[in-house]
């Protein structure tokens, strides 16, 4: 160790930090999670417009139960890919809060869009609102999540 110059030590530390940032960039949720979430959003929108209210209620509760079973395994962001499991020290503890906050905002967006479409007289406002948010979730979920992680320093 005595042969290492300060420049070499600094370079090694920068390499370690760059590798840590690369691994931290792997924090996230599997792509399939976002597509399943989008499909559920669309189905719930369809049911809200086309099925009796009790069916919509049962489906919403079933989705909530299913999500609460799956969520503890993946919401920590440590299992985005099968090839890498990130340690808890790299995956910030705020990540589940970021995901839940994002879901709450998406629910509010769905409600706002559906109410706006309904006020405008559109046919099947829940289907359109569900489809709109499903497209956002399916196509942009990981990217939105990454931005929210940066904002939350998670």
Q: Which residues of 16-48 are buried (b: 16+ CB within 10 A; e: fewer)?
A: eeeeeeeeeebbbbeeebbebbbebbbebbbbb
Residue 51 within any structural domain of the chain: yes
pLDDT < 50 stretches in the chain? none
Residue 82 within any structural domain of the chain: yes
> What gap in Å lies between CA 14 and CA 33, rounded to an integer?
34
Residue 112 within any structural domain of the chain: yes
Q: What pLDDT is stored for residue 4 in this prediction? A: 81
Q: What pLDDT is stored for residue 99 in this prediction? A: 80
Q: What pLDDT is stored for residue 42 in this prediction? A: 93
Residue 1 within any structural domain of the chain: no
Residue 42 within any structural domain of the chain: yes
Residue 104 within any structural domain of the chain: yes
With a threshold of 0.85, does the pTM exceed it? Answer: no
Q: What pLDDT is stored for residue 67 in this prediction? A: 81
Number of domains in the chain: 1
Residue 119 within any structural domain of the chain: yes
Q: What pLDDT is stored for residue 151 in this prediction? A: 86
Determine the structural domain holding residue 19 and report its residue range. 6-151
Burial degree of 4 (CB within 10 A; 0-12, 13-18, 19+): exposed
Residue 21 within any structural domain of the chain: yes
């Amino acid at each position: 160790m005595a042969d290492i110059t300060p420049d070499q030590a600094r370079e090694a530390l920068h390499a370690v930090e760059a590798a840590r940032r690369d691994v931290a960039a792997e924090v996230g949720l599997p792509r399939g999670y976002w597509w399943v979430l989008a499909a559920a959003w669309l189905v719930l929108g369809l049911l809200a417009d086309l099925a009796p209210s009790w069916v919509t209620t049962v489906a919403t509760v079933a989705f909530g139960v299913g999500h609460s079973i799956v969520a503890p395994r993946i919401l920590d962001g440590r299992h985005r890919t099968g090839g890498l499991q990130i340690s808890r020290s790299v995956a910030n503890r705020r990540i589940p809060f970021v995901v839940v906050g994002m879901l709450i905002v998406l629910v509010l967006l769905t409600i706002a869009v559906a109410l706006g479409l309904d006020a405008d007289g559109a046919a099947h406002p829940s289907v359109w609102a569900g489809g709109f948010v499903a497209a956002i979730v399916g196509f942009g979920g990981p990217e939105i999540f990454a931005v929210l992680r940066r904002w939350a320093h998670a």
